[in-house]
Amino acid sequence: MKTIELDYTRQCGDEPTKGHNRWHPDIPPAVTADPGEEVVMQTRNAFDMQINPATQAPDLLNADLNLVHPLTGPVYVNGAEAGDLLQVDVLNIEPAGWGFTTILPGFGFLRDLYTEPYIVHWEMRDGFAQSEQLPGVRVPEASFMGTIGVAPSRALRQEILLREDELLRRGGMVVGPTPAGAVPAHEPFASEGLRTIPPRENGGNVDIKQLTGGTRLYLPVFTEGALFSAGDAHYAQGDSECCGTAIEMDCTLHVSFEVRKGEAAGRGINFPYFERDDYFTSPEMAAPRRFLASTGMCISDGANESEHATLASRQALLNMIHLLMERGWSREQAYCICSVAVDLKVSEVVDVPNFVVSAFLPLDIFEG
C-alpha cells in the first residue's frame, strides 16, 4: 500500500511534492504504484483551506480562485502508457466531519441572479450532513471525488489551449492558464499548466456524484504512468451542482488501478466512462420514493429557443427555487439546497422545439 499524507495546517503550495492545482504532463509523481496496489490519498477541499468553520459570507470576497483545485498526486502507475485504458477502482472515501457550501459572486449556473456571497457550514456525522443555516435539512452521505483524472499529453494540452482560446474569442467563458497561485509555482508548469475548472478528456473536474466508493472509473491514458490525481471531495451533491459548490470537504481516498493495455486506442475511447454493480448511494436517494419535481422548457419571457438544453435547465431550477421559497426558504437557502440535493434530468429532447428538463427534490432530506 502507498500513502500520501497531507499537513492540513498547510496549503497545497506548501507541499508541492504531494500535490498540484494545474494539469501538466511533466509534473513529477508523488508516488509510484503497481497495478492492484492500494493507494491512500489525503485530499484538501476545493478552496485549498481558505475556508474554515469560522468563515463568514463577506470573507468569501477575499477567496483566491487561482488556488482552486488542490489535487493530491500524481500517482505514477507502473506499466501504463499512452493508448491504454486506466481502470480506477474507487475503494472507499473517508469523509471529514465539517464541510461547506458557498455562493460566490460571478460563479455558478445562475451567477447573473446571485451576486452576493453566502455560506452554509455543515456538520457531518452518523451518515448525514446538517447545518444551522438550513435547519431541518439532513442530507445523507454519498461521498465522491469532484475532480479525478490523469495528466494530458503535451499534444492534448496544446490542442486544449488552442480550442479554448478559440472559444474565448467567440465570447465563451474560459479560465485560461495563469501563473498566479499555480502549483507547481515554477516554470514551465506555472504558465503552461491547464486550469482545473473545466472537465476534459482526461477527466478532471467532472463532478459526477455517482463516483462513490465501489465505482470503477475508466480513463484514457495520454502519458507514461498515467499520472493520476484527485481532489475536490464532496460529501453530497445534486446532479448539476448549480450554485458552484456541493458539500465541499477534505477526505481520505482509497483507490487501486488496473491497466488495460491498448484498449483506449483500440476501442476509440477518448473520454471517461464508469460502471458499478450496486446502488451508488442508498436506494431511497438513488431513486427517491418521495420527491417534488419542477420542469423547465426552452421558453423565457415570451421568447422560444429551439432545442436549448441550457435554457430548459435554467427554467427548471428557477421553478424549483420558487417552490422552495413558497415553503419558507430564502432564495439563497433554496439555491444551496438545489446544489447539494436536487437532480437535473433531461426528460426529453425529441419534441422540437422544446426540450424538457426536470428538477427532482428528494423530500426525505427534510426532517418531519
Residues 91-147: pLDDT tens digits? 999 999 999 999 999 999 999 999 999 999 999 999 999 999 999 999 999 999 999
CA distance 228 to 40: 13
pLDDT of 317 above 90? yes
Give the tens place of pLDDT for each residue, 162-192: 999 999 999 999 999 999 999 999 999 999 9
Decide if pLDDT at 9 tops 70. Answer: yes
Backbone dihedral angles phi then psi of residue 171, each to the nearest 5 degrees: 100, 10
Share of the chain above pLDDT 70, in %: 100
CA distance 19 to 184: 8
Look at residue 368 in the predicted model and tell me its pLDDT. Answer: 61
For the chain, the straight-line distance linking the first and the last C-alpha, in angstroms and rounded, comes to 45
Let me know: does 223 contact 153? Beta carbons within 8 Å. yes
Strand 85-95 and strand 39-43: the pairing is: unpaired
The confidence score (pLDDT) of residue 367 equals 83
The pLDDT value given to residue 302: 86
The H or E element spanning position 273 is strand 273-275
Q: What pLDDT does residue 47 have?
A: 98
Distance CA 117, CA 102 (A): 7
Q: How confident is the model at residue 56 (pLDDT cuts 50, 70, 90)?
A: very high
* Confidence at residue 41, expressed as pLDDT on a 0 to 100 scale: 99
Q: What is the pLDDT of residue 263?
A: 98
- For 255-295, what is each residue's pLDDT tens digit? 999 999 999 999 999 999 999 999 999 998 999 999 999 99
The answer to whether the pTM exceeds 0.95 is yes
Contacts of 117 (CB under 8 A, 6+ apart): 57, 58, 60, 61, 102, 103, 104, 105
Question: Rounded mean pLDDT of 218-242?
Answer: 98
Can you list the alpha helix ranges (DSSP code H) found in the chain? Answer: 154-169, 189-192, 263-267, 283-286, 309-326, 331-341
Query: Does residue 361 surpass a pLDDT of 70?
Result: yes
pLDDT surpasses 70 at 87: yes
CB of 11 within 8 A of CB of 49?
yes
> Grid coordinates 470573507 are at which residue?
59
CB 362 within 8 A of CB 288: yes
CA triple 332-329-323, angle to 5 deg: 100
- State yes or no: pLDDT of 303 exceeds 90: yes
Burial of 235 (0-12, 13-18, 19+ CB in 10 A): buried
363 phi, psi to nearest 5 deg: -75, -15
The closest alpha carbon to 22, from 62, 63, 64, 66, belongs to: 66
Please state, in angstroms and rounded to a whole number, the distance separating the CA atoms of residues 357 and 338. Answer: 14
The count of other CB atoms within 10 Å of the CB of residue 195 is 21
Predicted confidence (pLDDT) per residue in 329-356, tens digit: 999 999 999 999 999 999 999 999 999 9
- The pLDDT value recorded for residue 301 is 86
